Amino acid sequence: MTLLIEKPQISIVIPLYNEEESLPELTAWIEKVMNQHNYTYEIIMVDDGSNDDSWNVIKKLSAGNKNIRGVKFRRNYGKSAALNKGFEKALGNVVITMDADLQDSPDEIPELYDMITNEGYDLVSGWKKKRYDSKLTKNLPSKIYNSVTRRLSGVKLHDMNCGLKAYRHDVVKAIEVYGEMHRYIPVIAKWAGFKKIGEKVVVHRKRQFGVTKFGWERFINGFLDLISIMFVSRFGRKPMHLFGTLGSILFLAGFIIAGYLAYAKLFLAGYRMTERPLFYLGLLSMILGTQLFVAGFLGELITRNSSDRNHYLVEEEA
């Protein structure tokens, strides 16, 4: 007998918050698919601080199948936190994430697995081409959100935020998701240097039990998170490049305006400088320019102190 822990082929990470009714059916379905294809697998259920009976259900399921593991958060931290915890625990060569509410179908797993292992994808995102959610509050906003994200990030996916995704092992160990950044995992992966990102049309189903956990706040939070990600990935290590440039341009513009006004005051007779709107514009842009510059300096001081300022992802060594 060997004591080596075998790495499973597939880790299935399931973040969940108050989904007690769905769990037994979901795990039974996953088990069926895994056994049909003879995969070695683990199911990692991350209970994001549920206050229904989800955790007891997970403990029961885990007792009945050694491939099922559970983690329970002390309180509700959000889907990103739950995913991050699952990524930390995952051992499998391919990591699949899916929602717990039976909206994603486990039947998609084998094909997703093949795309990672045989076709060389780093990340494959599901695409809910035909979607069974409310048209007005989900489908339409999601179309707009996806096209904005596509344009800003350059990641050409139709459905960034599909819960059903497959990752190469290295990807989940390299990226970090927090806040509400689960919406942008493909963008984060791309910026971490994983280039082969694909998508697969997946079957989507109506929510069977319970209610959606995301309300209207997701529009604002989602947008702010996108801006943060863009900013951090481009200028996180060199904030002065952004603030310094903007600050210098503004200051220079203000300085030229002030110079011109001073000249006019001295050499063009009877000139009431402070009555011209231009005066205020010059003043404003010099002050704002200086402030942006200072913000850049402070940013530099902060990044110098950050513990991961010299953290790089090494792909290979020879």
Q: How far apart are CA 41 and CA 8, in angstroms?
A: 5
230: which 2 tokens?
A: 């863009």
Asked if residue 202 binds ligand UDP (CB under 6 A), the reply is: no
Task: Choose the binding region for ligand UDP from 12-20, 56-64, 148-156, 278-286 (rule: CB under 6 A).
Answer: 12-20
- What's the min distance (Å) between Cβ of 276 and Mg ion? 59
- 3-state DSSP call for residue 141? helix
- 3-state DSSP call for residue 281? helix
Cα distances (Å, whole numbers) of residue 89 to 75, 204, 253: 19, 27, 53
| 8, 11, 12, 15: which one binds ligand UDP (CB under 6 A) | 15
Asked if residue 100 binds ligand UDP (CB under 6 A), the reply is: yes
From the list Mg ion, ligand UDP, none, which binds 78 (C-beta under 5 to 8 Å, kind-based)? ligand UDP
- What's the min distance (Å) between Cβ of 103 and Mg ion? 4
Looking only at residues 100 through 119 of this chain, which bind Mg ion when binding is defined by CB under 5 A? 101, 103
Task: Choose the binding region for ligand UDP from 95-103, 191-199, 283-291, 305-313 (rule: CB under 6 A).
Answer: 95-103
Looking only at residues 169 through 208 of this chain, which bind Mg ion when binding is defined by CB under 5 A? none
- What's the min distance (Å) between Cβ of 17 and ligand UDP? 4
Q: How far apart are CA 317 and CA 204, in angstroms?
A: 41
Q: How far apart are CA 237 and CA 311, in angstroms?
A: 11
| 214, 223, 235, 297: which one binds ligand UDP (CB under 6 A) | 214
- Find, among 68, 70, 72, 82, the residue nearest to 31 by Cα: 68
Looking only at residues 35 through 94 of this chain, which bind ligand UDP when binding is defined by CB under 6 A? 48, 76, 78-79, 82
Give the contact letters, 157-186, x = binds to ligand UDP (CB under 6 A), - = no: ------x-----------------------
Do residues 108 and 200 make contact, with C-beta atoms less than 8 angstroms apart? Answer: yes
- What's the min distance (Å) between Cβ of 189 and ligand UDP? 19
# of chain residues touching ligand UDP (CB under 6 A): 17
- What's the min distance (Å) between Cβ of 138 and ligand UDP? 7
Q: How far apart are CA 124 and CA 300, in angstroms?
A: 36
Alpha helices, DSSP H, located in the chain: 23-36, 54-64, 79-89, 109-117, 140-153, 169-174, 185-191, 217-235, 239-267, 277-305
Asked if residue 213 binds ligand UDP (CB under 6 A), the reply is: yes
- What's the min distance (Å) between Cβ of 99 and Mg ion? 5
- Closest CB to ligand UDP among residues 40, 51: 51
Looking only at residues 63 through 102 of this chain, which bind Mg ion when binding is defined by CB under 5 A? 99, 101
Torsion (CA) 39, 31, 53, 19 in degrees, nearest 10 = 90
- Closest CB to Mg ion among residues 18, 103: 103
**If you ran DSSP here, which 8-state letter would residue 139 be given?**
I
- What's the min distance (Å) between Cβ of 63 and ligand UDP? 22
Asked if residue 115 binds ligand UDP (CB under 6 A), the reply is: no
Q: How far apart are CA 91 and CA 95, in angstroms?
A: 8
Strand 68-72: give its sheet, edge to edge: 68-72, 41-47, 10-16, 94-97, 165-168, 123-127, 197-201
- What's the min distance (Å) between Cβ of 18 and Mg ion? 12
Number of residues assigned to the chain:
318
Which residues are near Mg ion by CB under 5 A?
99, 101, 103
Which residues are near ligand UDP by CB under 6 A?
15-17, 19, 48, 76, 78-79, 82, 99-101, 103, 163, 212-214
